[in-house]
Structure 1
Amino acid sequence: MTDTFQRIAPEQARELLAQGAQLVDIRDAQSFANGHIPGARHLDNQSLHAFIAQADFDQPLIVNCYHGMSSQGAAAFLAQQGFSQVYSLEGGFERWRLMYPQELSRDLG
């Protein structure tokens, strides 16, 4: 078990997601609703413990935020919780949005 994480570029994140990696988005709920990477699960202080309780610790886990800064702290925390492969998305959602504008989801509600 390790308590470290790696930073990965959107290209690498896309490959991992195609292979079944988990993706969590730690931005605020409004930003998440307005647009997020397909398959992302919104994670905040209220949902964190439930996520950890039911998580698959052996699946790679990618953490994204706005610009790739906050996700590093969250990735380190999640690695300490026992996830075997944790990644922080470099450039965060904003970089993904610029690189893959056709690959966005919105909560229509």
Structure 2
Amino acid sequence: MNEFQRISPQQAQALRQQGAVIVDIRDPQSFAAGHIQGSRHLDNHSLHDFIRNADLDAPLIVSCYHGNSSQGAAAYLVGQGFSQVYSLDGGFELWRATYPDDTAQSPAE
């Protein structure tokens, strides 16, 4: 795969159950308020370390608010050498509507 694919929450759930990594690129406050359970927050500060330590061949799902920003981030990650990159159509909002019991909140600091 030399470009990313757009996938539905159902496809993302299936990939997740097979070990795909989910990264959330929304702002920290939105991530803390709610995110896909087990997802990792990724921003400009954590991106370099994430890329350096990641398995470039593992499936990677990028999530944002509604599935728009994740497409640009997914394209960027393909350019960084990731071989299986997916953009979550509908983003976290559609995921939350589809899988309300499979979302988490970060503990308050």
TM-score tier after normalising by the smaller chain length: over 0.9
User: Would you say 1:86 and 2:85 are equivalent positions?
Assistant: yes
Aligned counterpart, 1:52? 51
What is the number of equivalent residue pairs in this alignment? 108
Q: When the two structures are superposed, what TM-score results if normalisation uses the length of structure 2?
A: 0.97
| Separation in structure 1 between the aligned mates of residue 56 and residue 37 of structure 2, nearest angstrom | 21
Could you list the per-position Cα deviations for residues 45-78 of structure 1 after superposition, in whole angstroms to 9, with x for gaps in the alignment?
0110000000011110000000000000000000
| Separation in structure 2 between the aligned mates of residue 84 and residue 25 of structure 1, nearest angstrom | 18
Structure 1 runs not aligned, ≥5 long: none
| Separation in structure 2 between the aligned mates of residue 87 and residue 50 of structure 1, nearest angstrom | 20
Q: Which amino acid aligns with 2:93?
A: E
Q: When the two structures are superposed, what TM-score results if normalisation uses the length of structure 1?
A: 0.97
Percent identity (aligned): 66
The runs of 4+ residues in structure 1 deviating greater than 4 Å are none
TM-align CA RMSD? 0.8
Structure 2 runs not aligned, ≥5 long: none
Aligned counterpart, 1:11? 10
Matches within 5 A, 1:1-109: 2=2, 4-109=3-108
| Separation in structure 2 between the aligned mates of residue 83 and residue 32 of structure 1, nearest angstrom | 23
SS state of the match for residue 102, structure 1?
helix
